[in-house]
Structure 1
């Protein structure tokens, strides 16, 4: 697998692409060429995204995959992908399509074939699922909802600070698509987990994550059992869904850099 230095960071629901800024600085210092392009419809700033939520609405998984595939097509080399939450699912799909040199999927959303559906995950996504019309809308979390879904392993003060700094409305469509994945033979949440020729994949889980509990990540790892390509799992037992943006982000980022180094990337 060719070595690359380009890194694309892919955010998940409810966080703006600028939430990757500390990671970009760190990866650039480590010698990579990092960037964090937003999802289709994402404005340049958090403030703009909050002011115009409908610009983000009604984008599904396939739309986001096609958006990043087009970005990759304009690059000189296949990039390394680092995705969080739904960004982790998108990274896995692109890796399975051989569009990336490697991928890191942090607390990645459920792909097709993953069966566990913990109650905490249902509660975390209830703000979207409580209204079927949200499939075509953008949904905003309250500070209390963010605290449960993202910030349950940090202080209330830090959770509120992260909520104020980084959160934006998110399209409901990807969640509805993921929820129906195991009943849809053509689900956009399907990943080519049997690809033998793909680059290395690192799955990262947070042991206290309410939104993507550790059981979901371990079930995702099992989906790759038919491929001999490198697939690793690293767990952070005391971390929750905010692990990429809270005070402990550097430990997670350094772990990713070490793993990339071990894999010749």
Structure 2
């Protein structure tokens, strides 16, 4: 279906489902865009179904996810705006670097190749999968306390627990292994073309209290783009954690993304 509205593709990260983007999709549609939030390969239609069938998401890696979304993007009538959170932020950087998007927003994105230092809090979250090599081929789920540390640490315990019940899903462990060993792998799927001068603009965000993607990771990511003349910007939310796309303050981030897009003619 052809539309005059600019398409927007939302990409979720590990331990969340595409349903987590529903408020964003509604807001962006009301703001004149044509948004969609496809799930990762293997995701079931709902978060509940994904929780009930974790084996369906097991084994998929970064390249699988990139190609899954690339196929969706190529089926659109024009390059979309790409908005990704966490590992979704890595995915949209890959797609933008391959000129498959008009612009991209990477919200607290997982580390790309070239990010050498992973702070202790990020290693603690990643270790949920990395501590067992068999998890590379498995689906990995967070328990309530792990979700509280990785996502809800800047929230009240009540809000964190409510988000856990509503949003948390199992995810493939393989992307965490691929990201962890990216700097030791020549053809790592976590490698992004940070030198591409013809790509669209990129907005990176960081949450100052994010345990999963600690601020140092995003700041380093921004520095990796310095050799490209394409626009790269960094926006900081000092009091926000990794839940910033799904918690009660999501609208602040979403409105900032909309304003950034409008200011650049999208």
- Pairwise TM-score range, normalised by the shorter structure: over 0.9
How big is the shift at 1:5?
A: 1.1
Structure 2 CA distance for aligned equivalents of residues 89 and 135 of structure 1: 18
Q: Per-residue deviation at 1:262? A: 1.0
- Separation (CA, whole Å) in 2 of partners of 1:263 and 1:112: 28
- 2:112 alignment partner in structure 1: 111
Alignment of 1:1-265 (within 5 A): 5-265=6-266
- Cα deviation digits, residues 9-48 of structure 1 (max 9, x gap): 0000000000000000100110000000000011111111
Whole-Å separation in 2 of the counterparts to 1:186 and 1:88: 19
Q: Is residue 4–residue 101 contact of structure 1 (8 Å, CA) maintained in 2?
A: no
Take 1:255 and 1:48, find their aligned partners in 2: how far apart are those partners? 32
2:5/2:34 contact within 8 Å kept: no
- Tell me by how many angstroms 1:146 deviates: 0.1
1:247 aligns to what SS in structure 2?
A: coil
Secondary structure class of the residue paired with 1:252: helix
Q: TM-score, normalised by structure 2?
A: 0.98
2:131 and 2:229 map into 1 onto residues whose CA distance is 41
| TM-score under structure 1 length normalisation | 0.98
Task: Give the SS at the match of 1:191.
Answer: coil
CA distance in 2, matches of 1:215, 1:113: 13
Three-state SS of the structure 1 residue aligned to 2:22 is helix
For residue 129 of structure 1, report the CA deviation from its aligned partner. 1.2
Alpha-carbon distance between aligned partners in 2 of 1:87 and 1:258, rounded to the nearest angstrom: 21
Aligned-pair CA distance for 1:4 = 6.8
Q: Structure 1: which 4+ aligned runs deviate by more than 6 Å?
A: none
Q: Name structure 1 gaps, 5 residues minimum.
A: none
Q: Over residues 184-211 of structure 1, what are the superposed CA-to-partner deviations in whole Å (9 max), with x where a residue is unaligned?
A: 1100000000000000000000000000
Conserved 8 A contact 1:148-1:210: yes
Equivalenced residues, count: 263
